[in-house]
Amino acid sequence: MLVQLAARLVLLCLTAAPAAASVVGGGSAAGGAPDEAVDPYTRGDPAAMQAAGYVSFGPFPWAAKHTTEDIEAILGDVPMLWLETTHFRIGCSLPAYKVTNAEKRKIGAELEQLAERIPRVKKRTKVLDPWLRLHLFAQRIEDLHADFCDLAGVTDTDFAHLPQTAAAPVADGEPSASTPATYMGEGPCLGMRDKFTLLLCEKTSTLARYKVRFTQSGGGASTIKWAFPEPASLMFGTAVEIGNGTYDEDTKLHCHVVFNLIHNLVNGFKYYGYQLPVWLPEGLAHSYRRQIDSDVLQFSAIKLRGTLSEDEDDWAVRVRARVKHEYYPASSELLRRSDWDDMTLTEHMMIWSRVDFLLAQGRDRFAVLLDRIKDRPYDESGMLPPERILERQDLALREAYDLDLQSFDEAWAAWVLDTYPKK
For every residue of 167-201, DSSP letters joined together read PPP--TT---TT--SS---SBTBBBBSS-EEEEEE
Report residue 183: phi and psi, to 5°.
-75, 130
Same domain, 311 and 244: no
Domain region containing 102: 1-272
Same domain, 293 and 197: no
Same domain, 293 and 414: yes
Same domain, 98 and 205: yes
Number of domains in the chain: 2
Same domain, 220 and 97: yes
Q: Are 300 and 266 in contact (CB under 8 A)?
A: no
Q: Residue 305 has what pLDDT? A: 62
Same domain, 148 and 104: yes
Same domain, 343 and 214: no
Residue type, 170: V
Long-range contacts of 243-247 (CB under 8 A, 24+ apart): 243/21, 243/23, 246/21, 246/23, 247/23
Q: How open is the CA angle 344-403-275, to the nearest 5 degrees? A: 50
Q: Residue 166 has what pLDDT? A: 57
List all residues 6 or more positions away from 294 whose beta carbon is below 8 Å from its beta carbon. Answer: 313, 315
- The string over 149-180, giving b where at least 16 C-beta atoms fall within 10 Å of a residue's C-beta and e elsewhere, is bebbebeeebbeebeeebeeebeeeeeeeeee
The kind and range of the H/E element at 61 are: strand 61-63
Same domain, 127 and 37: yes
Q: Residue 340 has what pLDDT? A: 79
Same domain, 186 and 316: no
- Among the candidates 272, 307, 342, a domain finishes at 272
Q: Residue 243 has what pLDDT? A: 77
Residue 82, strand partner residues: 91
Give the span between the Cα atoms of 149 and 190, in whole angstroms: 8
**Ramachandran bin of 185, using left for φ above 0, alpha for ψ from -120 to 50, beta for the remaining angles:** left
Q: Residue 342 has what pLDDT? A: 82
- Among the candidates 219, 244, 272, a domain finishes at 272
Same domain, 294 and 256: no
Q: Residue 222 has what pLDDT? A: 84
Give the span between the Cα atoms of 313 and 294, in whole angstroms: 6
List all residues 6 or more positions away from 282 whose beta carbon is below 8 Å from its beta carbon. Answer: 263, 299, 300, 340, 343, 348, 351
Give the span between the Cα atoms of 237 and 223, in whole angstroms: 6
Select from 61, 57, 15, 12 the least CA-distant residue to 165.
61
- Among the candidates 272, 291, 314, a domain finishes at 272
Q: Residue 65 has what pLDDT? A: 86
Same domain, 139 and 168: yes
Q: What is the pLDDT along the chain (423 residues), one digit of tens a residue?
A: 333 333 334 334 433 333 433 333 333 334 445 667 899 999 999 999 999 999 999 999 999 889 999 999 999 999 999 999 999 999 999 999 999 999 999 999 999 999 999 999 999 999 999 999 999 999 999 999 999 999 999 999 999 999 887 543 333 344 444 445 689 999 999 999 999 999 999 999 999 999 999 987 766 668 999 999 888 999 999 999 997 777 999 999 999 999 999 999 999 999 999 999 999 999 999 999 999 999 899 999 888 765 565 556 789 999 999 999 999 999 999 999 988 778 999 999 999 999 999 999 999 999 999 999 999 887 766 678 889 999 999 999 999 999 999 999 999 999 999 999 998
Same domain, 285 and 338: yes
The order of strands in the sheet holding 81-85 is 54-56, 81-85, 88-92, 196-201, 232-239, 224-229
